[in-house]
Structure 1
Amino acid sequence: MDGECKDAGLAQAGRQRIEWADGMMPVLREIREEWTRSRPLEGLRVAACLHVTTETANLMRTLQAGGAQVRLCASNPLSTQDDVAAALIHEYGVPTFAVRGEPEDQYYRHIRQVLDVDPQVTMDDGADLVSVLHRERPEQAAAVWGGTEETTTGVVRLRAMAADGALRYPVVAVNDALTKHLFDNRYGTGQSAMDGVLRATNLLVAGSTVVVVGYGWCGRGIATRAEGMGARVIVVEVDPFRALEAWMDGHRVMPMEEAAAEGDLFITATGDLHVIDRPHFLRMKDGAILANAGHFDVEIDLEALRELAAPSGHPAREVRPNVEEYRLPDGRRIRVVAQGRLVNLGAAEGHPAQVMDLSFADQALSVAWLASREARLAPGVHPVPEEIDRAVAERKLATLGVRIGRLTPEQEAYLHSWQAGT
């Protein structure tokens, strides 16, 4: 079977964990059962660059059940679960190219191997696959029908490509679906980012000062979880609307220059470059812990931290699994979790399956929607169709046994009328 994993002997253990996650993903499971009969993706070639987790495995199984020919690689060098990669290859027959901790050259080689399927549809998480495809294989990019993008960072990159006239096919911004960012980004990231920090550090959050950098949906979720565990939360923002929201949610708000001196734990969630930088390290307490919940490892300027620590004669050392300690010349220690990479997957298992059920149902149905389009969409970034978003929410409520109200014909008419008034 085509693919590359760390150890084929992990396949059975991976299968057990994939089946456990499947039991918590009823919406995706329903779609897979339906697609086993209807086969809406028959013969469709799909290149996927996603976090290789148990939840992703169930998405791949769903696409496969629908008839797609799928190849999968990792969208982050530290996010791969090696037993899952082994199970996908040897238990489910999905060509998978992913090894946890793989160096950069292997990471990009795996992306190219996935693109060798000559895809009609791409699935990305961070836009690395799309960018490689456009830079190195423009003729292939021209033949792609469409794609999907899972995360905020990827959507930002794709919109930049579209603005430059570089994006050659339509991509559905799954991240922007209500059933994705309202739940996955907020509840998923909030819980899993804190989970990663706690597994790596065993920090007592209660009474700690937690600095959340960025107050988008991910930052909101992290701040809520930290506050719920007893932390004193400071929010760092550059957007006045988000800063005002953080203040009204009860958090202190200040620039990073001020927050640096107060924080015990810092978690970045901006998707931007060097939001924690050299001047901030110089103001931090001894023992400050830094973690990143953004997609790429650029939010914490680790090169600057290495340069600051170099004169001490004590290079970074691993003090716990997934925790590196940098000692500054004055003796202060700064600790970085998961090498500054995505903490929820670098030091934990990622989002709970129950919330990924929503996001990956969006992914699956968006791929089917793209495959069914008789006329191709224009190149650019497109929203998830409202009917897909709403259908996923309704399916999820049904699996939870939750019933909601319905408008009467009179109420419907009133909402669509302008004649009625006071």
Structure 2
Amino acid sequence: MDEMDGSLTLDRAAPATIVAEPSARRRIEQYFLAVNNAFPSVHEVATIVITHMLPDRPFFLDAVARGNDLISILPKPKSCDPTTRAAISGRYHCDDLDRDRFTHPAKVLAYIEERAAGRDLVLLDIGGYFAPALTSLCRQFSGRIVGVVEDTENGYRKYLSCGKPPCPVFSVARSPLKQPEDYLVGQSIVFSTESLLREHGNILHGRETCVIGYGKIGRSVANTLRAKSVRTTVYETDPVRAVEAMSHGFAVKWSKSEALGRADVIVCATGNRALEGEDFTYLRPGSYVASVTSSDDELNLASLRGTYRVDRLGPHLSRMTSWNHHFYLLNDGNAVNFVHGAAVGPFIFLVQGEILAALALLSSGQTMEPGLHEVGNREREIIARSWLRCFNEE
């Protein structure tokens, strides 16, 4: 468990590559080549990439390296397929991603000085790792931080919370091209949750579920559960999203204790500490807790130390027991869909295409104002058209 006994990796039986068929591989390679050609890097920059090391990632990393100097890859430890990492390490330099190091600006500065001293550098981020140190990096780095590209909503919020960025920060988190991924991630969360329940001799049907958070992924989770005829309640603190959930036909609870106390399965989808402290005591005894993202962001498991005993019942299931209460934690509180590779098919390449477009804009040599930026609709249309040509052939 991340907060209690170290990091977690994917199931070591995960496939080493996303596809085996040469024709499918050619489609992916043709797509990324088309995106690279549409958005060429005019001036080569050094890049450091934080990424999920999943079986689809080598295609994207090769595209990043085409025209730029990919000097280091930092795989996220909770979504790192060891076979994929071993293959990538033979072609690119990989470092271990240490969350503690990234909470100390001086340590982050020392790291990028070691890897990219004096260089023009673009940081590709997933989860806002560079956000706390970005101002110090822009002021003190011996080279130049050209900009950052952030993938996730949670990371986007972290950059927002630090005030106006000192350099251009592109976010793809709210792009229309990410909507297909978010929708399919919600479905994969439900699939993996039920798969892990089945390993414990249970199923979703006949149980009460509660989705905490009705954002993009939470909405998809709730609707997927309903499509499977599973009774679903939403707990949402944002009144606008709560109204939206009600308009979609979901029961919305205003009391967290009531929502948790009646649910057999809880899916946490906020990215912002859905459960912490006394929240865990509200859980219905014997209920299951699943998360859509890292336990660091979704659950304050550190608050359970000294109160709950952890019993490992299987590779992805733990029983949390106090003197008068117990519940089950799926995948150590990390994103449950990573157990099954977090596959969303070729739709993941849409977002990766937009990241490449943002990288090209940053390396264009044009002066860009510090602050938050998005890729334009024209670029998104080019990416979508390239994707359709490669993956929707008649």
How far is 1:28 from its partner?
6.4
1:169–1:379 contact (8 Å) kept in structure 2: yes
* Cα distance change of structure 1 residues 155 and 190 upon mapping to structure 2, 3 Å threshold: same
Structure-2 separation of matches of 1:387 and 1:17: 29
CA distance in structure 2 between the partners assigned to 1:236 and 1:21 by the alignment: 45
What pairs with 1:237-248 in structure 2 (closer than 5 Å)?
237-248=236-247
2:377 matched to which residue of 1?
386
Task: Return the alpha-carbon distance in structure 2 between the equivalents of residues 383 and 148 of structure 1.
Answer: 9
Which of 183, 197, 203 aligns to 1:201? It is: 197
Name 2:337's counterpart in structure 1: 344
Distance (whole Å) between structure 1 residues aligned to residue 393 and residue 248 of structure 2 = 28
Query: In the alignment, residue 80 of structure 1 is paired with which amino acid?
Result: C
Q: How does 1:61-140 map to 2 (within 5 A)?
A: 61-74=62-75, 76-90=76-90, 93-98=91-96, 104=100, 113=111, 116-118=114-116, 120-135=121-136, 138-140=139-141
Cα deviation for residue 200 of structure 1 reads: 3.2
Cα distance change on mapping 1:333 and 1:45 into 2, 3 Å: same
* Number of equivalences: 373
> What one-letter code is carried by the residue in structure 2 that aligns with 1:320?
G
Displacement of 1:111: 9.9
* Unmatched tracts of structure 1, length 5 or more: 1-5, 310-314, 404-422
Question: Cα RMSD over matched residues?
Answer: 3.3
Q: State the partner residue of 2:225.
A: 226
User: Are the aligned partners of 1:212 and 1:235 in contact in 2 as well (CA < 8 Å)?
Assistant: yes
Partner of 2:3: none
Q: Provide, for residues 267-318 of structure 1, a one-character-per-residue CA deviation record: whole Å limited to 9, x for no partner.
A: 1111213x22344332322221112213452432323334442xxxxx2111
Deviation (angstroms), 1:153:
0.7
Normalising by structure 2, we get a TM-score of 0.83
With over 3 angstroms needed to count, the CA separation of the structure-2 counterparts of 1:195 and 1:113, relative to structure 1, is farther
Shift of 1:174: 1.0
More strand by proportion, 1 or 2?
Answer: 2
Which of 328, 335, 358 in structure 1 is aligned with 2:322? 328
Aligned residue for 1:192? 188
Between 1:202-211 and 1:260-269, the stretch displaced more is 202-211
CA contact (8 A) 1:210 1:234 kept: yes
Q: Could you say if the C-alpha distance between residues 326 and 296 of structure 1 is closer, same or farther in structure 2, counting changes exceeding 3 Å? A: closer
AA partner of residue 353 (structure 2):
A
**Seq. identity, %:** 18
Residues 18-417 of structure 1 correspond to what in structure 2 (within 5 A)?
Answer: 23=24, 26=27, 29-32=30-33, 35=36, 40=41, 43-74=44-75, 76-90=76-90, 93-98=91-96, 104=100, 113=111, 116-118=114-116, 120-135=121-136, 138-140=139-141, 143-161=144-162, 163=163, 165=164, 167-180=165-178, 182-187=179-184, 189-202=185-198, 203-255=202-254, 256-273=256-273, 275-295=274-294, 297-309=296-308, 315-330=309-324, 332-345=325-338, 347-375=339-367, 377-401=368-392
Q: Which amino acid aligns with 1:371?
A: S
Q: Is the Cα contact below 8 Å between 2:28 and 2:59 reproduced in 1? A: no
Q: Would you say the 8 A contact 2:207–2:231 is kept in 1?
A: yes
In 2, Cα distance between equivalents of 1:115 and 1:258: 51
Quick check: 39-48 or 236-245, which moved more?
39-48
- Alignment match, 1:312: none
Bigger Rg, structure 1 or 2: 1
State the shift of 1:79 in Å: 1.1
- Greater Cα offset, 223-232 or 140-149: 140-149
Specify the code of the residue in structure 2 equivalent to 1:94: Y
Secondary structure, in 3 states, of the residue corresponding to 1:120?
A: strand
Alignment partner, residue 416 of structure 1: none
Q: Letter of the aligned partner of 1:379 in structure 2?
A: P
Matched position secondary structure for 1:131 = helix
Distance 1:26 1:132, change over 3 A: farther
Give the direction of change, closer, same or farther, for the CA distance of 1:177–1:199 in structure 2 (3 Å limit): same
Q: Distance in 1 between matches of 2:372 and 2:313?
A: 43
1:76-128 CA-partner distances (Å, limit 9, x unpaired): 331111111111111xx1212248xx785699989965664325211000111
CA separation of 1:397/1:353 partners in 2, compared to 1, >3 Å: closer, same or farther? Answer: same
The residue type paired with residue 359 of structure 1 is V
Give the Cα–Cα distance (whole angstroms) in 2 for the partners of residues 44 and 52 of structure 1: 22
